[in-house]
C-alpha cells in the first residue's frame, strides 16, 4: 500500500472521530414561531418552546446536543461585560459575545460577517460541538440574538435557515 493512501485513510478516520453526534437531516419547510418583537422559522424536527420573550428548541434526533435559543438581548450589557466601551458597532458587540464565552472556557470564535440589514453572523465552537450566532440590532441597545449549537458542522444549514428567516416585529 502506498504511503499517501495510508495517510489519506488516517486523515479520514481522524476527521470522522473528531466529528461527533448525528449528521443533520435536510432542512424541511419548518414552522413559523413568534415571541415578543420577532418571528423565526424553525426547521422540521425541532421541538420548540415559546415564551413571551424567547424561543428555545432542541432537535428530536439529538435532544442532548442540539440547542436553539432566540430572544432579545442587551448589546450594551454584552459589550460592557467584555470590557468594550459602549456605544459599539454590531461587529464589536458580536466579538464581545464570543470573548465572554472564550473567557469562561465554553467556546471559541472562528469568524464573522456582516449581513444585510446590519446584523452580524458568526461561527465558532462550543464545548458541545459547533456553534452559530446571529446578532440583529433592533432599537437602541436592544437586539435579537439567535444561537444554534449542534454536535458537528452538518447542522449549519439549520442555523442558516433560522437566521435567514428572522423578522423583527415592531
88-118 pLDDT, tens digit per residue, is 999 999 999 999 999 999 999 999 999 989 9
Q: Is residue 24 part of a domain?
A: no
Average confidence (pLDDT) over 72-98: 98
Q: Please check whether residue 119 lies inside any domain of the structure.
A: yes
- Grid coordinates standing for 37? 418583537
The pLDDT of 64-86, averaged and rounded, is 98
**Residue 1, pLDDT above cutoff 80:** no
Residue 62 lies in a domain: yes
Determine, yes or no, domain membership for 131. yes
Judge if pTM exceeds 0.85: yes
- Does residue 109 sit within a domain? yes
Q: Which residues contact 109 (CB under 8 A, 6 or more apart)?
A: 95, 98, 99, 101, 102, 122, 124
Model confidence pLDDT, tens digit, residues 144-153: 999 999 999 9
Mean pLDDT over all residues of the chain? 91
Instruction: Give the cell for residue 84.
Output: 468594550
Q: With bands split at pLDDT 50, 70 and 90, how would you rate the model's confidence at 128?
A: confident
Query: How much is the pLDDT for 20?
Result: 85
% of residues, the chain, pLDDT over 70:
89
Domain of residue 137: give its range.
29-168
Residue 140's pLDDT is: 97
Query: What integer pLDDT is reported at residue 5 of this predicted model?
Result: 41
Is 20 among the domain residues?
no
Q: Which CATH number goes with the domain that contains 40?
A: 3.40.1000.10
pLDDT attached to residue 9:
40
Separation CA 59–CA 57 (nearest Å):
7
Number of domains within the chain: 1
* 3: in domain: no
Could you tell me if residue 19 is inside a domain? no
Strand 142-150 and strand 67-74: pairing? antiparallel
Residue 19: pLDDT band by 50, 70, 90 thresholds? low
Give CA–CA dist 109/169, Å, rounded: 29
Amino acid at each position: 500500500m502506498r504511503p499517501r493512501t495510508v495517510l489519506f485513510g488516517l486523515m479520514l478516520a481522524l476527521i470522522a472521530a473528531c466529528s461527533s453526534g448525528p449528521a443533520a437531516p435536510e432542512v424541511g419547510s419548518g414552522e413559523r414561531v413568534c415571541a415578543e418583537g420577532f418571528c423565526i422559522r424553525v426547521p422540521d424536527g425541532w421541538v420548540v418552546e415559546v415564551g413571551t420573550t424567547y424561543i428555545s428548541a432542541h432537535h428530536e434526533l439529538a435532544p442532548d446536543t442540539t440547542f436553539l435559543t432566540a430572544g432579545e438581548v442587551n448589546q450594551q450589557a454584552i459589550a460592557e461585560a467584555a470590557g468594550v466601551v459602549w456605544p459599539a458597532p454590531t461587529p464589536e458587540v458580536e466579538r464581545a459575545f464570543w470573548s465572554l464565552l472564550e473567557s469562561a472556557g465554553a467556546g471559541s470564535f472562528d469568524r464573522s460577517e456582516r449581513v444585510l440589514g446590519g446584523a452580524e453572523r458568526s461561527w465558532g465552537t462550543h464545548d458541545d460541538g459547533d456553534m452559530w450566532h446571529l446578532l440583529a440590532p433592533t432599537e437602541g441597545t436592544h437586539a435579537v440574538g439567535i444561537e444554534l449549537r449542534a454536535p458537528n458542522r452538518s447542522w449549519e444549514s439549520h442555523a442558516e435557515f433560522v437566521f435567514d428567516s428572522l423578522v423583527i416585529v415592531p
